[in-house]
């Protein structure tokens, strides 16, 4: 029997930003998910999970906020054991909306790639105006309600250059509990616009500088800025666990549902034919049957080319499936940038354990 852990609902394709690297091409379509599709997805997962997370994505998911509220209400009425997370660009976070999000108990991730000179060029509003100040105001509105958030940063060549400065901004804002660093994938508009990732040396140099800067700020009495992958590695080291798989997408434990009901293992693999699993509205849909025989299903780090002889493989899990496919066209070996990113994180986690 399936044991699903994560349900990603792309509740809308509409977006008020026009990010230059958006894999989902947010804003090019205005299609919203219907209640029928959302309910079918929730019911399917609820029948196959003891507890699970629902992540609302887009586009900009707050543009279909009425559906999000209806889903949360339904889940609670049914007594389901589910938590809720929403990934937003932050520009729509007015004081009133923030209070409503707080009442709903949503955990929030906000996307921001750097200071205005970087973020405005990568993440403009539709029409070209910079979005950074609007996102920062949204973060300040969250802080006013005592809401802490995680910040998601897409690492392009340009945003990586300025990463240490972004940590300083996080410290100034005061309500950023952690950073999630996501190397750009050459999919969607990133491929169209030839948005480049950092080269290995730049990534290594700037990531180490960023980790040091976060530590310096904390040692001087500032807030602690955590890095999601470092914390995960510390947890594995402390508990003696092994990471055989990178994410639920490779184990058949997650569903990403598009507005029309199309199912993929991961939001980042949406609309790629090799990863299409069916439609949630099909009465005969079975995730377990859909993933069987797929070359990426149960992609274990110990069997991956370039991973099996790596001493850090069981702290890494093999890297992102979507990035591997986007950069190499294969699923059985990692993207080299992922290796660099995780080796720096592992190095830092091991140093932290010695302090």
Instruction: For residue 149, give the CATH number of its domain.
Output: 3.20.20.70
CA distance 187 to 193: 10
Instruction: Please give the pLDDT value at position 353.
Output: 77
Only one residue has tokens 């797929």, namely 294
Give a yes or no: residue 292 inside a domain.
no
Residue 18 · residue 63 · CB < 8 Å? no
Give a yes or no: residue 183 inside a domain.
yes
Instruction: Please give the pLDDT value at position 26.
Output: 85
Give a yes or no: residue 81 inside a domain.
yes
What is the count of structural domains for the chain? 1
Q: List the chain pLDDT tens, one digit each, 355 residues.
A: 479 999 999 999 999 999 999 988 888 989 999 999 999 999 999 999 999 999 999 999 999 999 999 999 999 999 999 999 999 999 999 999 999 999 999 999 999 999 999 999 999 999 999 999 999 999 999 999 999 999 999 999 999 999 999 999 999 999 999 999 999 999 889 989 999 999 999 999 999 999 999 999 999 999 999 999 999 999 999 999 999 999 999 998 999 999 999 999 999 999 899 999 999 999 999 999 999 999 999 999 999 999 999 999 999 999 999 999 999 999 999 999 999 999 999 999 998 877 7
Give a yes or no: residue 325 inside a domain.
no
Instruction: Please give the pLDDT value at position 259.
Output: 98
Instruction: Please give the pLDDT value at position 169.
Output: 95
Domain span at residue 119?
A: 6-239
pLDDT in tens, 60-101: 999 999 999 999 999 999 999 999 999 999 999 999 999 999
Give a yes or no: residue 101 inside a domain.
yes
Long-range contacts of range 213-219, CB-CB < 8 Å, 24 or more positions apart? 213/164, 213/167, 213/168, 214/167, 217/167, 217/168, 217/171
Q: How many CB atoms lie within 10 A of CB 278?
A: 16
Residue 194 · residue 210 · CB < 8 Å? no
Give a yes or no: residue 150 inside a domain.
yes
- Could you tell me which residues come within 8 angstroms of residue 10 by beta carbon, excluding any fewer than 6 positions away? 24, 33, 57, 58, 59, 256, 257, 258, 259, 267, 270
Give a yes or no: residue 352 inside a domain.
no
Give a yes or no: residue 10 inside a domain.
yes
CA distance 318 to 320: 7
What predicted TM-score, i.e. pTM, was given to this entire model?
0.95
Q: Go through the chain and tell me how many residues it has.
A: 355
């Amino acid at each position: 029997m399936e044991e699903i852990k994560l349900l990603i609902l792309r509740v809308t394709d509409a977006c008020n930003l026009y990010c230059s690297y958006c894999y989902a091409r947010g804003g090019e379509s205005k299609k919203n998910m219907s209640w029928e599709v959302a309910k079918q997805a929730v019911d399917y997962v609820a029948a196959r999970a003891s507890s699970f997370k629902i992540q609302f994505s887009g586009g900009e998911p707050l543009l279909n906020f009425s559906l999000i509220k209806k889903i949360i209400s339904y889940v609670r009425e049914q007594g389901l054991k589910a938590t809720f997370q929403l990934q937003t660009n932050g520009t729509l976070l007015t004081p009133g909306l923030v209070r409503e999000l707080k009442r709903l108990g949503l955990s929030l991730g906000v996307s921001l790639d750097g200071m205005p000179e970087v973020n405005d060029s990568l993440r403009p509003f539709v029409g070209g105006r910079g979005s950074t100040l609007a996102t920062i105001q949204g973060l300040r509105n969250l802080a006013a309600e005592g809401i802490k958030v995680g910040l998601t940063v897409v690492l392009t060549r340009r945003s990586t250059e300025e990463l240490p400065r972004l940590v300083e901004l996080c410290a100034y804002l005061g309500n950023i509990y952690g950073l999630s660093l996501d190397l750009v994938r050459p999919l969607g508009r990133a491929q169209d616009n030839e948005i480049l990732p950092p080269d290995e040396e730049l990534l290594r140099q700037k990531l180490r500088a960023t980790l040091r800067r976060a530590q310096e700020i904390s040692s001087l009495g500032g807030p602690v800025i955590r890095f999601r992958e470092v914390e995960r590695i510390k947890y594995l080291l402390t508990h003696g666990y092994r990471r055989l798989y990178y994410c639920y997408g490779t184990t058949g434990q997650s569903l990403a549902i598009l507005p029309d009901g199309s199912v993929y293992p991961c939001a980042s693999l949406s609309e790629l034919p090799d990863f299409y699993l069916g439609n949630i509205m099909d009465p005969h849909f079975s995730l377990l049957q859909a993933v069987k025989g797929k070359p990426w299903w149960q992609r274990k780090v110990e069997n991956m080319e370039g991973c099996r002889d790596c001493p850090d493989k069981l702290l890494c899990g093999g890297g992102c499936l979507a990035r591997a496919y986007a950069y190499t066209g294969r699923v059985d070996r990692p993207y080299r940038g992922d290796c660099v990113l995780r080796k720096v994180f592992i190095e830092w986690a091991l140093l932290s354990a010695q302090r």
